[in-house]
C-alpha cells in the first residue's frame, strides 16, 4: 500500500502533487491510502514538506477542473480516493467517463457542496455595523476553509465563525484560524469564544497549512443570476462575479444593501475607494452627503435599498492613491444582470437614478441629467422613476454658492421621490 499523508482536510496542493506522481507510476487507486490529518489531531501539519514533482500526466477537461475543488471542499471521507479513481478513468482514455456512475456521483456531490457554500455565505450579514459578527455553524471544516476568501469579500467588518474542528476569525483586515478542538467552557458565550479565538488562532498568511488550500469559487453566469431566489442568495453569488475585467483589480464586489422591503430603490454609478474597501455602497464622501440630503428630505437610509449600476470599483493607481475612473459601456452592460435581478426581487414603488450612469443603465439609452431630472415618470416595470444628479457631482462643484444651490435642488429631488409613495 502507498500511504499518502496530507496535511489538512483541504490539502488540494498535496493531493494534486501525489496524484500526478502516482499516476506516472501507474499505482492503482486500490493500492493508495489517502491520510488527511483528522480534525483536532495533535499531529501538527509539517511546516515544510517535500512533495513529489511530476509533470501532469494528462490534460483535464474544464468540467473536471471545476469539479475537483468542490469535491475536496465537500468533506466526503473518500473524496481524495474518488477523485484519483476519476483521473484513472480519464488517463485510460475512456471517452465516456461522464457516463460512469463515479462521474455522476461526483457531480452530484459537487452540486451539493456548491449549494452548501452558498448557504454558508448567507450567514454573514453585510458590513452595516463594525461590531463583530459571531456565528456557530455545522459544516465540514474543508468547506469552511474553501470559503474563507469569499467570506472576507462578503463582509469587510470583523467576524468569527466556529464549526467543529475549525475556527476562523477575521479582524483588522487579517484572517486567523485554529484547527484544535475547543473546550466546552470556551463555548459558553460569545465573549468567551472571542477571547479564546484571539488568544489561540494564528495568522493565515504565516501558515504552510493554509497555503495548501484551494478556494471554491462559484462563478455566476447571467442565467444563474436571473434565477436567484432572494436578495441574500444574489449577494452570495456576487462574490465571485467575473462578468467584466473590473473584478480583477477591485478588492470585492459591492452589492446593494438596505431594507429588502424597501419602497424606494436608489441606483448610483459604481463603488468608490471607500466602498470597495468597506464592502458597502455610498459610504465615502458622496455617500455621506447623500445620507445628509436624504435626512433633510425627510427620509432615512435604512428604510430604502441602495445600489449601483456597476458593482466593482474602476480606478487607476497613482502611487498609494486609487483614482476613480468612469465605467465604460462594456462594464455597464456586463453588470446589468445584477441590477435587473435586484429590481426583480425588490417590491419597490419608486426608482431613483443618481447620475448619468445609473440613469443610462436603467433606461437603456443616453441620458442628459439636466434635461430629465426633477420629474416623475413611469418605467417599463411599472415603478415610478426619477432622475437626479449623483451626489459626487456636488462635491466636484468648485463654486460654493452654486454648490449650495445644487444641493438644495438635490434635496428637493429626493423629497419629490419620497412624495411619490
Segment 118-144 shows an average pLDDT of 92
pTM value surpassing 0.95: no
Q: Which residues contact 89 (CB under 8 A, 6 or more apart)?
A: 97, 100, 102, 103
The band of 7, judged by pLDDT with boundaries at 50, 70 and 90, is confident
> Among 4-18, 87-101, 378-392, which is the least confidently predicted range?
87-101
Q: Answer positive or negative: Cα dihedral of 359, 364, 366, 372.
A: negative
CA dihedral 149, 155, 161, 167 (to 10 degrees): 40
Among 204, 228, 239, 245, CA closest to 346? 228
Does 40 have pLDDT greater than 60? no
Q: Are 142 and 128 in contact (CB under 8 A)?
A: no
Paired strand residues for 133: 159
Q: Are 127 and 155 in contact (CB under 8 A)?
A: yes
Q: Are 256 and 283 in contact (CB under 8 A)?
A: no
| pLDDT tens by residue, 76-118 | 999 999 999 999 988 877 667 788 899 999 999 999 999 999 9
Among 131, 213, 130, CA closest to 166? 213
Alpha-carbon separation of residue 165 from 37, 115, 168, 182, 184 (angstroms) = 11, 21, 10, 8, 13
The Cα–Cα gap between 212 and 235 comes to: 28
> Among 61-65, 177-181, 320-324, which is the least confidently predicted range?
177-181
Tell which wins on pLDDT, 208 or 39.
208
Three-class SS of the chain: CEEEEECCCCCHHHHHHHHHHHHHCCCCHHHEEEEECCCCCCCCCCCCCCCCCCCCCCCCCHHHHHHHHHHHHHCCCCHHHHHHHHHHHHHCCCCCHHHCHHHHHHHHHHHHHHHHHHHHHCCCCCCCCCCCEEEECCCCHHHHHHHHHHHHHHCCCCEEEEECCEEEEEECCEEEEECCCCCHHHHCCHHHHHHHHHHHCEEHHHCHHHHCCCCCCCCCCHHHHHCCCCHHHHHHHHCCCCCCHHHCCCCCCCCCEECCCCCEEEEECCCCHHHHHHCCCCCCHHHHHHHHHHHHCCCCHHHCEEEECCCCCCEEEECCEEEECCCCHHHHHHHHHHHHHHHHHCCCCEEEEEHHHHHHHHHCCCCCHHHHECCEEECCCCCEEEEECCHHHHHCCCCHHHHHHHHHHHHHHHHHHHHCC
Paired strand residues for 258: 305
Among 228, 255, 306, CA closest to 126? 255
Q: C-alpha 287: how far from its chain's center?
A: 22
264-268 and 350-354 strand pairing: parallel
Residue 95 is predicted with a pLDDT of 66
Grid cell of 389 as nine digits: 444628479
Residue 355 is predicted with a pLDDT of 96
The Cα–Cα gap between 143 and 70 comes to: 9
Superfamily of domain 255-419: Uracil-DNA glycosylase-like domain (3.40.470.10)
> What percentage of the chain carries pLDDT values higher than 70?
97
| pLDDT tens by residue, 303-358 | 999 999 999 999 999 999 999 999 999 999 999 999 999 999 999 999 999 999 99
Q: Are 153 and 276 in contact (CB under 8 A)?
A: no
What are the residue ranges spanned by the domains of the chain?
2-119, 255-419
| pLDDT tens by residue, 267-313 | 999 999 999 999 999 999 999 999 999 999 999 999 999 999 999 99
Amino acid at each position: 500500500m502507498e500511504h499518502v499523508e496530507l496535511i489538512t482536510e483541504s490539502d488540494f496542493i498535496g493531493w494534486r502533487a501525489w496524484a500526478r506522481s502516482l499516476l506516472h507510476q501507474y499505482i492503482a487507486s486500490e493500492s493508495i491510502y489517502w491520510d488527511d490529518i483528522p480534525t483536532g489531531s495533535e499531529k501538527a501539519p509539517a511546516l515544510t514538506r517535500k512533495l513529489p514533482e511530476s509533470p501532469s500526466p494528462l490534460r483535464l477537461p474544464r468540467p473536471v477542473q471545476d469539479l475537483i475543488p468542490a469535491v475536496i471542499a465537500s468533506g466526503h471521507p473518500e473524496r481524495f480516493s474518488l477523485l484519483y479513481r476519476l483521473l484513472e478513468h480519464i488517463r485510460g482514455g475512456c471517452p465516456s467517463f461522464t457516463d460512469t456512475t463515479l462521474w455522476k456521483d461526483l457531480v452530484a456531490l459537487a452540486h451539493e457542496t456548491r449549494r452548501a457554500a452558498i448557504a454558508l455565505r448567507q450567514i454573514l450579514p453585510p458590513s452595516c455595523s463594525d461590531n463583530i459578527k459571531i456565528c456557530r455553524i455545522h459544516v465540514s471544516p474543508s468547506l469552511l476553509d474553501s470559503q474563507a476568501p469569499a467570506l472576507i469579500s462578503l463582509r469587510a467588518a470583523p467576524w468569527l465563525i466556529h464549526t467543529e474542528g475549525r475556527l476562523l476569525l477575521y479582524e483588522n483586515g487579517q484572517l486567523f484560524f485554529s484547527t484544535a478542538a475547543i473546550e466546552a467552557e470556551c463555548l459558553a458565550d460569545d465573549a468567551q469564544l472571542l477571547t479564546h479565538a484571539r488568544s489561540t488562532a494564528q495568522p493565515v498568511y504565516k501558515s504552510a497549512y493554509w497555503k495548501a488550500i484551494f478556494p471554491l469559487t462559484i462563478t455566476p453566469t447571467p442565467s444563474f443570476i436571473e434565477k436567484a431566489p432572494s436578495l441574500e442568495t444574489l449577494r452570495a453569488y456576487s462574490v465571485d462575479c467575473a462578468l467584466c475585467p473590473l473584478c480583477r483589480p477591485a478588492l470585492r464586489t459591492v452589492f446593494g444593501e438596505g431594507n429588502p422591503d424597501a419602497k424606494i430603490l436608489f441606483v448610483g454609478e459604481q463603488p468608490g475607494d471607500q466602498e470597495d474597501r468597506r464592502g458597502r455602497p455610498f459610504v465615502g464622501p458622496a455617500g455621506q452627503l447623500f445620507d445628509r440630503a436624504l435626512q433633510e428630505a425627510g427620509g432615512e437610509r435604512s428604510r430604502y435599498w441602495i445600489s449601483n449600476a456597476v458593482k466593482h470599483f474602476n480606478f487607476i493607481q497613482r502611487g498609494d492613491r486609487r483614482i476613480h475612473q468612469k465605467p465604460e459601456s462594456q462594464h455597464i452592460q456586463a453588470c446589468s444582470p445584477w441590477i435587473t435581478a435586484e429590481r426583480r426581487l425588490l417590491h419597490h414603488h419608486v426608482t431613483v437614478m443618481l447620475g448619468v450612469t445609473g440613469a443610462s443603465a436603467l433606461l437603456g439609452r443616453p441620458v442628459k441629467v439636466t434635461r430629465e431630472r426633477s420629474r416623475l415618470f413611469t418605467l417599463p416595470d411599472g415603478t415610478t422613476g426619477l432622475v437626479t444628479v449623483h451626489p459626487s457631482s456636488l462635491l466636484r462643484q468648485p463654486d460654493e454658492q452654486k454648490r449650495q444651490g445644487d444641493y438644495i435642488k438635490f434635496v428637493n429631488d429626493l423629497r419629490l421621490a419620497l412624495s411619490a409613495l
